[in-house]
Amino acid sequence: MSPPSPAAPAAVQVRRPLRTWDLVLSIVLLLLTAGLGLLLLVMSPFLVMASDPCGSGVQCDLDQMGVGFGIALLGPVLVVVAGIVVTVVLLVLRRLAFWVPLVTSALAAGVFVLGLALIIGAVPGATF
């Protein structure tokens, strides 16, 4: 019987190096993205004023306005929260993450504009 062979050394998991510039830039961009999300959240209740001409001889599509208001109110918040989660996960995995807050800001603004367009489109004769 031959002597037992020594166990193979355990595979050492090497973590990726921490990119300090990516961490700092991601945090700064996340703060700016959160500020944008807060700004859009504060601005969204004012979109209700688009319904002012409704009822005085102007027939508005109130269902479309409701959907647009919901999108403008909740959409950017959900996009910003998802962007924060994705950025934190990428930072923990030590992958490049600075681009996520940039994309998140653009998507949040786009969702807000989509809601705004639905609201404005529901009022006949209204323009941006």
**Chain segment 18-71, per-residue pLDDT in tens:** 888 999 999 999 999 999 999 999 999 999 888 888 887 888 888 999 999 999
Q: 120 or 15: which carries more pLDDT confidence? A: 120
- Angle at which helices 20-43 and 62-92 cross, to 10°: 160
pLDDT in the model for residue 6: 64
Q: Which position has the token pair 């005085």?
A: 56
Dihedral sign from CA coordinates of 33, 73, 128, 111: positive
In which band, very low, low, confident or very high, does the pLDDT at 5 lie, cut at 50, 70 and 90? Answer: low
Domain ranges of the chain: 33-46+60-128
Q: State which amino acid sits at residue 48.
A: V
| Average pLDDT of the segment spanning 107-123 | 94
Predicted TM-score (pTM) of this structure: 0.82
Question: Is residue 102 over pLDDT 70?
Answer: yes
